[in-house]
Structure 1
Amino acid sequence: MRRIENYILRFLSRKNGVAAIEMAFIFPVLLLIYFSVFEITMLYSLSKRLTRVASNIGDMIAQESSIDKSYLEDFEKLLTSTMYPYIFNDCSIMITGYWVDSDKKVTKKWSWSSPNIGITVKEDVPNSIKDYSSFVVRTEVTMKYQTFLMSRIFPNSLNGIIPLDKVFYYRQRLGGEVICRDCQT
């Protein structure tokens, strides 16, 4: 019995291998933190770029008095070049023009969306931007972000797709309204 007790005390007093055991516990946690920070940084960068695109599109349209589809289609190039070096095929743009009458009743005048739009759009104008007899431009830019690492580490628990959506509203600056000559109503 004394021999077993000495063996246990000797085992507990040894310092060899403690660093390896600590590393075995800490290393997976550090890897998980590293991958999480990487994904959060990517999401932040993409969200910032989408915000910039949606804001710029809405601002440029609000400065016009008359536009057409070819003008709106050029915004897809703006989206692609702003998102560079990231390449995503599932980015989409939806632009809508609304007229707010003297009773603050909103009427959709025209809309345009990129051909690859595969989302349902909630079309509303917030009360804070509704002004009597004004024209409002609503710009929405969406994309589905496929995580690089987390979906590969946990393939069965996460589908790895995070939807990003940015919506901006601008009032028309010049004249009464923005007219889109060949857009759908």
Structure 2
Amino acid sequence: MNIQAKMLAAASAVRRFLAEKGGVAAVEFAFIAPLMLAFYFLTMEFSQGIDTNKKVGRAAILAGDLVAQSPVMTGDELDAIMKIGEAVLQPYNRSKPEITITAIEITDEDTPRALVAWSRRFADGVSSRAEKPGSRIDVPKELMSRDSFLIRAEADLTYSPVITWSGTSETGKKALGLMAAFDNIPMGERYYLRPRVTREISCADC
């Protein structure tokens, strides 16, 4: 075979190669599919995270509002209210919230002080005293009115995305690499409310 024939054969092979498009779509899909799936799961996790963060705030304001509407509280009533706040987070259940209700008394002094009247925390299904009664507590300056009473409601949650929770819940191993960046995201909200019915709200066994 002379050189001209070889060149013609090579050109013909190149034309056949360029004309063959049967596997192009499969190759493109193999490159694009992982990126599309990654974007899909990240978008899903992002939207679920935003929704859960809103529910954390809703749990805090709901618990605080129910307490603010009561003239007197008991430890059992506070526990029931905080359990309602925990239920607000459903169907999310990959981690448990910590809900704290604190009653704050602001003294009638020239320089008022914010003191804990009573405080109760609900975490992992167990209730306990949070802040020590009579101890100083920080309150925003705009709320430091002499001889007043406040209810502070807090909800905190360590958010576990499903892409990390499903990978670590069965093995017990910590997430690594990119998954670790999305693991255990802290979320929290805090609200201050004034009593609706009486000047202050007592709780003898808190």
Is it true that 1:67 corresponds to 2:73 in the alignment? yes
Q: Which residue of the other structure, out of 98, 117, 133, is the alignment partner of 1:92?
A: 98
Change (3 A) 1:69 1:4: farther
The number of aligned residues is 180
Residue in 1 aligned with 2:184?
161
Structure showing greater radius of gyration is 2
User: Is 1:178 the equivalent of 2:192?
Assistant: no
Does the Cα contact within 8 Å between 1:80 and 1:87 map onto a contact in 2? Answer: no
The CA deviation string for residues 130-169 of structure 1, in whole angstroms up to 9 with x for no partner, is 3232111111112222211256399412342222212111
- Change over 3 Å in CA distance of 1:19–1:57 after alignment to 2: same
Alignment correspondent of 1:108 = 116
In structure 1, how many angstroms separate the alpha carbons of the residues matched to 2:140 and 2:15? Answer: 72
Structure 2: gaps (5+ residues): 1-5, 132-136, 169-173
SS at match of 1:110: strand
Structure 1's unaligned 5+ residue stretches are none
The offset of 1:23, in angstroms, is 1.1
Kindly provide the amino acid, as one letter, of the partner of residue 46 in structure 2.
Answer: I
CA shift at 1:21, angstroms? 2.0
Aligned mates of 2:141, 2:50 — CA distance in 1: 29
* Percentage of pairs with the same residue: 28
> 1:14-163 maps to which residues of 2 (within 5 A)?
14-88=20-94, 90-102=96-108, 103-116=111-124, 124-150=138-164, 152=167, 155-157=175-177, 158-159=179-180, 160-163=183-186
AA paired with 2:189? Answer: K
User: What SS does the corresponding residue of 1:83 show, helix, strand or coil?
Assistant: coil
Residue type at the aligned position of 1:149: I
Cα contact 2:97–2:155 (8 A) shared by 1: yes
What one-letter code is carried by the residue in structure 1 that aligns with 2:66? M
**C-alpha displacement of 1:10:** 5.4
TM-score by length of 2: 0.73
How far apart, CA to CA, are the structure 2 residues paired with 1:124 and 1:30?
47
Deviation at 1:3, TM superposition (A): 7.0
What is the TM-score normalised by the length of structure 1? 0.80
Q: How far 1:65 moved relative to its partner? A: 2.5
Moved more, 76-85 or 149-158: 149-158
Instruction: Output the aligned Cα RMSD.
Output: 3.0
Distance 1:3 1:148, change over 3 A: farther
| Cα deviation digits, residues 11-33 of structure 1 (max 9, x gap) | 45643322122212211111011
Letter in 2 for 1:175: T
Change (3 A) 1:12 1:88: closer
Are the aligned partners of 1:35 and 1:150 in contact in 2 as well (CA < 8 Å)? no
